[in-house]
Structure 1
Amino acid sequence: MRTDYDSFAEDYNRENETSLLNAWYTRPAMLDLVGDVRGRHVLDIGCGAGPLAADLVERGARVSGFDSSPAMLEIARRRLGDRADLRVADLGEPLPYDDESFDVACAALVLHYLRDWEGPLAEIRRVLRPGGRLVAAVNHPLAYAMTEQKYFGIVQHELRHSFAGREASLFMWHRTLHDISSAVNAANLRIVSLHEPPVADDTPEELLPPSGVRRFISFLFLVLEREGATA
Structure 2
Amino acid sequence: MPPEESTVVNDYDRLADTYTVRSDTEIQNAYYERPAVLALAGDVAGRRILDAGCGAGPLTVSLRERGAEVSGFDLSSSMLEIARRRLGPDVDLRVADVAEPLPYADNAFDDVVASLVLHYLEDWGPALGEFHRVLKPGGRLIVVVDHPFAIHLSQRQAGHQTDYPATYQWTEDWEAGGRALPMSFWNRPLHAMTDAFTAAGFRISAISEPKPVPEAEKLFPEDYRMLCVSPSFLFFVLHAG
The answer to whether 1:124 aligns with 2:131 is yes
For the 8 Å contact 1:109–1:136, the answer to whether it is kept is: yes
CA distance in structure 2 between the aligned counterparts of 1:202 and 1:83, rounded to whole angstroms? 33
For the 8 Å contact 1:144–1:151, the answer to whether it is kept is: no
CA distance in structure 2 between the aligned counterparts of 1:93 and 1:29, rounded to whole angstroms? 27
TM-score by length of structure 1 reads 0.93
Q: After the TM superposition, which residues 30-109 of structure 1 pair with which residues of structure 2 at under 5 Å, given as runs?
A: 30-109=37-116
1:209 alignment partner, SS class? helix
For the 8 Å contact 2:27–2:223, the answer to whether it is kept is: no
The answer to whether 1:218 aligns with 2:228 is no
Counterpart in the other structure of 1:175: 188
Q: How far did residue 152 of structure 1 move? A: 1.9
Question: Size of the alignment, in residue pairs?
Answer: 227
User: 1:50/1:210 Cα in 2 relative to 1: closer, same or farther (>3 Å)?
Assistant: closer
CA distance in structure 2 between the aligned counterparts of 1:56 and 1:148, rounded to whole angstroms? 34
Deviation by residue 1:181-204 (Cα, 9 ceiling, x = unmatched)? 111111111111100000012225
Say which structure is richer in helix: 2
1:222 alignment partner, SS class? strand
Deviation by residue 1:152-184 (Cα, 9 ceiling, x = unmatched)? 211010022346866332210000011101111
CA distance in structure 1 between the aligned counterparts of 2:179 and 2:218, rounded to whole angstroms? 25
CA distance in structure 2 between the aligned counterparts of 1:199 and 1:162, rounded to whole angstroms? 24
Letter of the 2:109 partner, please give it. F
CA distance in structure 1 between the aligned counterparts of 2:225 and 2:102, rounded to whole angstroms? 42
Unaligned stretches of 5+ residues in structure 2: 1-7, 157-162
The answer to whether 1:192 aligns with 2:205 is yes
User: 1:185/1:34 Cα in 2 relative to 1: closer, same or farther (>3 Å)?
Assistant: same
User: Once superposed, what is the RMSD of the aligned Cα atoms?
Assistant: 1.6
CA distance in structure 2 between the aligned counterparts of 1:177 and 1:165, rounded to whole angstroms? 36
CA distance in structure 1 between the aligned counterparts of 2:129 and 2:164, rounded to whole angstroms? 26
Counterpart in the other structure of 2:166: 153
TM-score by length of structure 2 reads 0.89
Q: How far did residue 8 of structure 1 move? A: 1.3
Unaligned stretches of 5+ residues in structure 1: none
For the 8 Å contact 2:55–2:74, the answer to whether it is kept is: yes
Letter of the 2:194 partner, please give it. S
1:157 alignment partner, SS class? strand
Q: Which runs of 4+ in 1 moved over 4 A?
A: 163-166
Counterpart in the other structure of 1:114: 121
